[in-house]
Structure 1
Amino acid sequence: MLLSVIIPAYNCEKTIVQAIKSTGVYLNSQIEVIVVNNGSTDKTEVLIKQEAQKNPNIIYAESKKGTSNARNKGIEKASAKWVTFLDADDCLLNFDKALKEMLISAEEDLIICNYMVNESKINLCSMTRKRSNRVSVIKQMLENPTKYMTVWGKFYKTNLIKNENVRFKNELVYSEDSEFLIRYILLCDQIRFTEKYIYHYVLSENSTVRKYNPQLIYEYEKAILQVKRNLNKFPEFEKSFKIFTLMQFNLMMVHNVFMKNKNAISKLKKLCEKNYISKSLEIISLKNIFTPRLLPLVFCKYHLYLCASIIYKLRVIQNNKNTK
């Protein structure tokens, strides 16, 4: 078997069949699809089992609630050379002869592909400097987590995952993708980027990160501290980790603090005073004022919290417009 596609499935009756079919499992006998139902209460289970009856390479499994639990169950059952992850409301693209031949012959430990977000193309291959330099790649990923540090859109060596016991931490609710990916990539000897667009991410208002969660900041902090522990032995990534922290801070602002807007500036100021944030803000300087993603952080560093809040409010509005 060449490729195991792992799909966590929770209350996704409207999209799960399309997701399964997008893998190419009906066209290629070298693909197995492991669909893990993790507590669905709609018709998801019935639909998966119907597809599994049509094709022996579609495997139905169950896990406890939580995406991490589902992905870990999928890893346990994976039997192919490569593993990739697919969310139930997204699709795989272009599993053609060229991609099949690449997976057969590739000696790298990780293959990173381009992807689409709704109708927008994200070309990781063209935006990545020194693609053959593992340290440089990890730094760029840490500094651009929203683009790079998704678990999907990549192919992982099954043997490496299993032999090194790399699993998703089910105690993490947010950024579990980033944390898993960091631990995996630190084990990689070689990484390959391909120009192929193989993943279609559907940006939706129903996405977990777009729903208000009063615990979101606490959950992000847990993930940040776990990534820090993962990188403790690698001082070469210290600056990049601080940028990663600030990018997560931006997400906290947009997906929590300024979503409800009650006492938002006060919460912003309080977070900036936390040690792990204040230490990260030290790397920001006035020259970053013309970099859009760093601009509010410049304001935060120099205690211009009202200016920062205006930007975060505008980003909340823009995010709401971008969801379908």
Structure 2
Amino acid sequence: MKHTLSMGSDQGTVWAKLYKTDFIKDSGEYLDRDLVNGVDQEFNVRIVLHSPRIVSIPDDVYSYVYNPSSVVRTFKSQYYDVSMRTVSAIRDDLKSSTLPADSVKRIFDIYCLDRLLMLLMNYVCNPHAPWPYSKRKQVFHAVCRNECLSKALKTIPLSAIESKTRRIIIGFAKFNLFLPIYCACSLRYRQLKK
């Protein structure tokens, strides 16, 4: 589960998995049609909870080519709502698991911080968002006040985040420092355009 919901790895995506057809059919699990964002992550959480044996290769086995004009990077006003609906669904899946509660809480909180990073990049600081800086700052504070996200910001130590750049951004978020987050995201968008 830790690997599936790990920060910045995209290991929760279905396209990063191979399943035996019989296993999928026998599991009775299907993609949740009510979700719009992260459907594959939520599906994988349920599949991992049913799996008697999991084989994982945590190494890169393909090369991802970033597409700055991807539909993922376009601004969607409902991005926050659909993202948080997926976070809630995954939280509910994990609550129903038999995994140790402490482990589940830590895994979920780290996953929430990953979702916060996605929200900062694809929603709050998205250059296509129709907001001036002052509105973005308000949206940032509202996002960080979300129950799941604020709890994760309070409970997960920065040392638990492997990536230095992610650790820095999460550190700024912990201290409600929006300007450096906005500058870092803006710089990242410029880098990705090249």
Task: Please give the range of the TM-score, normalised by the shorter of the 2 chains.
Answer: 0.7 to 0.9
Amino acid at match of 1:311: A
> Helix, strand or coil for the counterpart of 1:282?
helix
Shift of 1:151: 0.8
The structure whose Rg is larger is: 1
Structure 1 residue 231 displacement after superposition: 0.2
1:143-222 → structure 2 map (5 Å cutoff):
143-194=6-57, 199=62, 201-222=64-85
Letter aligned with residue 320 of structure 1: K
Distance 2:180 2:58 in 1: 39
Task: State the alpha-carbon separation in 2 of the partners of residues 214 and 253 from structure 1.
Answer: 13
Instruction: Report the counterpart of residue 165 of structure 2 in structure 1.
Output: 292
- How far off is 1:219 after superposition? 0.8
TM-score after normalising by structure 2: 0.82
Identical-pair percentage: 26
What residue identity is the alignment partner of 2:165? P
1:264 to 122, 132, 136: 136
Question: Gaps (5+ residues) in structure 2?
Answer: none
Aligned equivalents of 1:153, 1:164: Cα separation in 2 = 19
SS of residue matched to 1:169: coil
- Deviations 1:144-191, CA, capped at 9 Å, x for gaps: 254311211321121221122111112222111111111111111222
Which residue of structure 2 lines up, in the alignment, with residue 227 of structure 1?
A: 90
Residue of 181, 184, 190 corresponding to 1:311: 184
Structure with bigger helix share is 2
Quick check: 2:158–2:170 contact (8 Å CA) kept in 1? no
Secondary structure, counterpart of 2:2 in structure 1? helix
2:148 is aligned to 276
More strand by share: 1
Q: Could you say what the CA RMSD is over the residues aligned between the two structures, in angstroms?
A: 2.5
Alpha-carbon distance in structure 2 between the residues aligned to 1:319 and 1:176: 25
1:111-169: CA deviation from partner (whole Å, max 9, x where unpaired) = xxxxxxxxxxxxxxxxxxxxxxxxxxx21331225431121132112122112211111
Asked if the contact 1:143–1:241 (Cα under 8 Å) also holds between the matched residues in 2, the reply is: no
SS in 2 for 1:237: helix
Equivalent pair of 1:139/1:240 in contact (CA under 8 Å): yes
Name 1:252's counterpart in structure 2: 119
Distance apart, 1:314 and its partner CA: 2.3
Q: CA deviation at 1:203?
A: 3.1
**8 Å contact kept, 1:166–1:180:** yes
| Distance change (3 Å), C-alpha of 1:143 and 1:310 | same
The residue identity in structure 2 corresponding to 1:240 is I
Is 221-230 or 165-174 further displaced after alignment?
Answer: 165-174
1:33-58 C-alpha deviation (Å, 9 max, x unpaired) = xxxxxxxxxxxxxxxxxxxxxxxxxx
**Structure 1, gaps ≥5 residues long:** 1-137
CA 1:158–1:286 in structure 2 vs 1: closer, same or farther (change >3 Å)?
Answer: closer
Structure 2 residue 174 is matched with structure 1 residue 301? yes
3-state SS of the aligned residue for 1:315? helix
Report if aligned partners of 2:109, 2:156 keep a CA contact under 8 Å in 1: no
Count of residue pairs brought into register by the alignment:
184
Q: Is the 8 A contact 1:153 1:198 kept in 2?
A: no
